[in-house]
Amino acid sequence: MDLTYFDYKYSFPLESGASLPGFRLAYTTRGTLNADRSNVVWVCHALTGNANVADWWGGMVGPGKYFDPATDFIICANVLGSCYGSTGPLSVNPATAKPYHHAFPAVTVRDIVNAFDLLRQELNIEKIRTCIGGSLGGEQAVEWAILHPGLIDNLILIAASAMASPWCIAFNESQRMAIEADPTWAENCDNAGLAGMKAARAMAMISYRNYDTYGFTQALDNNEQLDGYKAAGYQRYQGEKIVERFNAFTYWLLTKIMDSHNVGRNRGSILNALGQIKARTLVVGIRSDLLFPPSEQQFLARHIHNASYEEIDSLYGHDGFLIEFRPLTTIIRKWMQAGESAIAPPINRDTIGTEPVNQ
């Protein structure tokens, strides 16, 4: 699907106190906006995702899927700081006429959402029927629901949290240490740090999956093996795969963005922030998730008004939100139907069993 671009040509202040001299967001839309503009579904992508939501969530979005372009107007924008069309570290800095590289300023989840909201206004969208995201995408969705409480009707948060845990930050810092260990990382060139990023991605895969995942998918070929293990090959494969589509500057920045997530920052407390959410909310945890354990989703569900909690039993850990389409579809469909029933016009039971009048 072709990308569309939103160019914001004014100074954009960031939470850090720095600013960008404008920015570009790449985004896609699928389907048609209906007459009353009430069928908007906004999908927020995770760490290395992109605006082509069908590329990475084809089991949830597409013809015949739960989010169907035949009925829904589906929007997905590439996050600020990424490398799939939006302004990021490899973009040209107007002040120097060279790529930003190491000079790209720190960006937070809140900055990303503020950029998204400018795109929303450009598209003249006053209401988002459903905003959904998993992992870093869920962090964007919950932040948006706090920033603009009346904007979102239905909020769906999958394998997400109210703040980045020390555990999550430690995983991210370990990955950044791997990038730092690459002697090319100090350079200001597009290919700097790629060997380090390979190791970083291999580390990340351990947090995205779990012990049982590797035991099932990367089992020994035979009991006589001394080398050539599937698990070792898989880690190297994941490293090679990321360098084909990403750069170390963006990877570094996005892990820092994930670390920045804390809905309570400058809002008094996390509980005070979550209490501002007005959207009807579904929170989904994954039982085997090591990176964002279910206790974090249960916390969200306890402290967001009108929230429901559901849990998926998946072999695939945190990555289950990208894989478990059937249980996710079942959970979301049931929850949405319950919401639609709750807002249906009440039945006047006094008229039941009486003769109709003036038909």
Out of 86-100, 101-115, 310-324, 341-355, pick the least confident: 341-355
Question: Above 50 in pLDDT, residue 250?
Answer: yes
CA dist 225 to 212, 217, 218, 255, Å? 20, 17, 13, 36
77 neighbors 128 (Cβ within 8 angstroms): no
Across the range 141-156, mean pLDDT stands at 98
Q: What is the rounded CA–CA span in Å between residue 90 and residue 87?
A: 8
Q: What is the rounded CA–CA span in Å between residue 300 and residue 24?
A: 32
Known catalytic residue: 341?
Answer: no
Question: Above 60 in pLDDT, residue 73?
Answer: yes
Task: Give the residue from 261, 314, 305 showing the smallest Cα distance to 284.
Answer: 314
Task: Give the residue from 327, 240, 247, 223 showing the smallest Cα distance to 285.
Answer: 327
Which of the residues 45, 101, 261, 318 is marked catalytic?
318
pTM, 2 dp: 0.93
Which of the residues 135, 260, 288, 314 is marked catalytic?
135
The more confident residue out of 260 and 350 is 260
- Helices 194-208, 230-243: axis angle to 10 degrees equals 120
Across the chain, the runs of DSSP E, i.e. the strands, are 4-8, 12-13, 19-20, 23-30, 40-44, 73-77, 92-93, 98-99, 128-134, 152-158, 280-286, 307-312
Which of the residues 72, 182, 289, 319 is marked catalytic?
289
Give Rg (Cα) of the chain.
22
Q: Looking at residue 106, what is its pLDDT? A: 98
Length in residues, the chain: 359
Average pLDDT value for the chain: 94
- pLDDT tens for each residue of 84-96: 999 999 999 999 9
Residue type, position 133, single letter: G
Q: Looking at residue 24, what is its pLDDT? A: 98
- pLDDT tens for each residue of 265-320: 999 999 999 999 999 999 999 999 999 999 999 999 999 999 999 999 999 999 99
Across the range 35-55, mean pLDDT stands at 97
Known catalytic residue: 161?
Answer: no
Across the range 143-172, mean pLDDT stands at 98
- Reduced to 3 states (helix: H, G, I; strand: E, B; else coil), residue 268 is coil
Q: Which helix (H) or strand (E) segment is 8 a member of?
A: strand 4-8
Question: Above 60 in pLDDT, residue 198?
Answer: yes
Non-local (6+) Cβ contacts of 351 within 8 A are: none
Which pLDDT band, with edges at 50, 70 and 90, does 355 fall under? very low
Q: Looking at residue 343, what is its pLDDT? A: 57
Question: Above 50 in pLDDT, residue 359?
Answer: no
Q: Looking at residue 341, what is its pLDDT? A: 77
Task: Please name every residue paired with 299 in a beta bridge, in sequence order, or none if there are none.
Answer: none
Question: Above 70 in pLDDT, residue 248?
Answer: yes
Known catalytic residue: 227?
Answer: no
